[in-house]
Amino acid sequence: MTPDPAATAPVPPRTPGDDADWWRQAVVYQVYPRSFADSDGDGLGDLRGVTSRIPHLRSLGVDAVWLSPFYPSALADGGYDVDDYRAVDPRLGTLEDFDAMAAALHAAGIRLIVDIVPNHSSNRHAWFREALAAPPGSPARDRYLFRDGGGPDGSLPPSDWQSVFGGPAWTRVTEPDGTPGQWYLHLFAAEQPDLNWDNPEVRQDFLTTLRFWADRGVDGFRVDVAHALAKDLTEPLPSAAEIADAAHGTHPLWDRDEVHAIYTEWREVLDSYTPPRTAVAEAWVHASRRARYAVPGGLGQAFNFDLLQADWDAKQFRTVVTDNLAQAAESGASSTWVLSNHDVVRHATRYGLPPGGGRHGQGQDGVDWLLTGGTSPVLDAELGLRRARAATLLMLALPGSAYLYQGEELGLHEVADIPADRRQDPTFFRSGGTEVGRDGCRVPLPWTADGPSFGFGDGPAHLPQPAWFAALAADVQERDPHATLTLYREALAWRRRLQGPEELEWVEGSGEGVLHLRRPGGWQSVTNFGPEPVDLPPGILAVASGPLEDGRLPADTTAWLV
Ligand code: GLC
């Protein structure tokens, strides 16, 4: 791989210290490791690849990396099907590589958050193999959610529940004697059997896993599907229709109140470290329920996905910001802002589609779960990127922590045209292809304009990269003052300089399509969602998401004034 030219950029060192509040306004960069950088040319990104690109992260100016699963996995769900929670996938490296990566990140002043996947293991996990070899009713089966089937011969699933990825949420096993047997619950793919969180051994083992990574210097955890662990499978099981409109806290599968007892236990472990290890819940729950996950005695922070579900609309953005700051005040956590991640259509693409575009799939609680769908002929790529840059600059002006997803700093769009035979996302297969799935935002990054996989590695990448990646490669943007990469770097540098208390004041009077906010110290951010240029308030321009027009702020542009 060609060395990153950003390695030479002068950046003041920032060593992580013992500040227990480091996460409150941190900029966290999500690395999806299999698609970030490939050090050995096998087409899959790996941990040494991450280490090799730390100069990029450092020159970008992020405070932390969130590493998506890097554990041994058959990749039935991109690594969210974990075979062993306390090991590294050999294709991605070794525990020594992990330690070296963590040390190098820390030396660069960047903290490390790892993904933990407690709702389900993979079907290759030692526990699940043991469960399959053991008889019904055995302690080995009790670590999962096995039930007898319905009908005279047990050939019907125990209920008609559907998995989030499509198709039934139950799969029947073959008993050790070769006869058709019990069914197990999987809220996601069949390769992801749900664990039984009423089982004390399951609970203990995850505490061991938390300690294992915290002892290795991990600074925090991102908790996958945090709202699903507690379940009520009291029989007779209700039908999907019966639970469709369950009141909050009463759904047998999602967001049950008992789940918080688990996180109280986790918090004790996390708080036994100095500084306390952080945790952020991935919980697609109703806004009114989010604070329960975010309280200091619980996980401590919870994602809000409201911004990434909002259209490019001043009113919607303002409501999302106001509501989430109020919720943060209620829980005591800081808010979390996200525009893109590995589960949704990249925001540059979403904003180039008609309102609501790129949005598919309803999840539990009526919350949009996946924003899939890829691009369509109506995509206006230029408009999308322009708005994405403006949205990012607005997001970075907000109090709280901001989560960036790898490649958004290059202004990448969703890759829409992945051939069916190259697709990997179980959503695609389980929906019979009606949902294209999430591969389009997981295509390996372009680091250089040429090379077999645009500098990702020395061989072809595991998902096909489009020709248009060349123009957006990191090394091309390095030389361009107007590049999206340059904007991100400037914005993060200004943010670090200007950051003050977690307060925000709206400034009224700029017109309907304009959001104007002020942060302590007089830092202001103005976003023009409307079609016509608007005047900027007095102040010195620090950074703008696009060029001004005769000193005025054009449509779909954000500017920061100091
Ligand atoms: C989370 C992850 C997603 C994964 C699912 C099942 O939502 O973000 O990628 O497919 O959980 O683990």
Q: Report the pLDDT value the prediction gives residue 418, as an integer from 0 to 100.
A: 87
pLDDT at 454 over 70: yes
Cα 421 to averaged position of ligand 1 atoms, centre (Å): 22
Cα 11 to averaged position of ligand 1 atoms, centre (Å): 35
Helix (H) or strand (E) holding 322: helix 314-331
Minimum CA distance residue for ligand 1 atom 4: 80
DSSP annotation of 142: G
The tokens for 501 are 């208390």
Q: Which atom of ligand 1 is nearest to the CA of 80?
A: 12
C-beta 188 within 6 A of ligand 1: yes
Q: What is the pLDDT of residues 361-376, one digit of tens each?
A: 333 333 333 334 444 4
Residue 129: count other Cβ atoms within 10 Å of its Cβ.
13
Cα 342 to averaged position of ligand 1 atoms, centre (Å): 9
Cα 68 to averaged position of ligand 1 atoms, centre (Å): 10
Sequence-separated (6 or more) residues with CB below 8 Å from residue 515: 314, 317, 318, 394, 506, 525, 526, 527, 529
- Please, what is the average pLDDT of the chain? 92
Confidence grade of residue 7 (pLDDT, cut at 50, 70, 90): very low
pLDDT at 557 over 50: yes
Cα 478 to averaged position of ligand 1 atoms, centre (Å): 33
Angle at CA of residue 190, ends 184 and 191, nearest 5°: 110
Q: What is the CA radius of gyration of the chain?
A: 23
Instruction: Answer yes or no: are the C-beta atoms of 228 and 196 closer than 8 Å.
Output: no
How many helices (H) and strands (E) the chain has is answered by 16, 15
Cα 426 to averaged position of ligand 1 atoms, centre (Å): 11
C-beta 414 within 6 A of ligand 1: no
C-beta 36 within 6 A of ligand 1: no
pTM for the full model?
0.95
Q: Which atom of ligand 1 is nearest to the CA of 188?
A: 6
Q: Which atom of ligand 1 is nearest to the CA of 343?
A: 9
Q: What is the pLDDT of residues 339-350, one digit of tens each?
A: 999 999 899 998
Q: What is the pLDDT of residues 298-307, one digit of tens each?
A: 999 999 999 9
User: What is the C-alpha to C-alpha distance for residues 239 and 38, in angstroms, rounded to an integer?
Assistant: 46
Minimum CA distance residue for ligand 1 atom 12: 80
C-beta 117 within 6 A of ligand 1: yes
User: What is the C-alpha to C-alpha distance for residues 353 and 370, in angstroms, rounded to an integer?
Assistant: 16
C-beta 224 within 6 A of ligand 1: yes
pLDDT at 433 over 80: no
C-beta 225 within 6 A of ligand 1: yes
Which residues on adjacent β-strands are paired with residue 111? 64
Confidence grade of residue 503 (pLDDT, cut at 50, 70, 90): very high
- CA atoms within 13 A of residue 365's CA, in its CB half-sphere: 22
Minimum CA distance residue for ligand 1 atom 6: 80
Higher pLDDT among residues 551 and 16, named by residue: 551
Cα 222 to averaged position of ligand 1 atoms, centre (Å): 11
Minimum CA distance residue for ligand 1 atom 7: 225
Q: Which atom of ligand 1 is nearest to the CA of 165?
A: 10
Q: Which atom of ligand 1 is nearest to the CA of 284?
A: 7
Cα 260 to averaged position of ligand 1 atoms, centre (Å): 20
Cα 80 to averaged position of ligand 1 atoms, centre (Å): 6
Q: What is the pLDDT of residues 194-243, one digit of tens each?
A: 999 999 999 999 999 999 999 999 999 999 999 999 999 999 999 999 99
Specify the 3-state DSSP secondary structure of 57: helix
User: What is the C-alpha to C-alpha distance for residues 280 and 314, in angstroms, rounded to an integer?
Assistant: 27
Q: Is 348 left (phi over 0), alpha (psi -120 to 50) or beta?
A: alpha
Cα 434 to averaged position of ligand 1 atoms, centre (Å): 19
Q: Which atom of ligand 1 is nearest to the CA of 369?
A: 7
Q: Is 398 left (phi over 0), alpha (psi -120 to 50) or beta?
A: beta
Instruction: Answer yes or no: are the C-beta atoms of 58 and 468 closer than 8 Å.
Output: no
pLDDT at 144 over 90: yes
Sequence-separated (6 or more) residues with CB below 8 Å from residue 172: 149, 155, 157, 180, 181, 182, 183
Q: Which atom of ligand 1 is nearest to the CA of 438?
A: 9
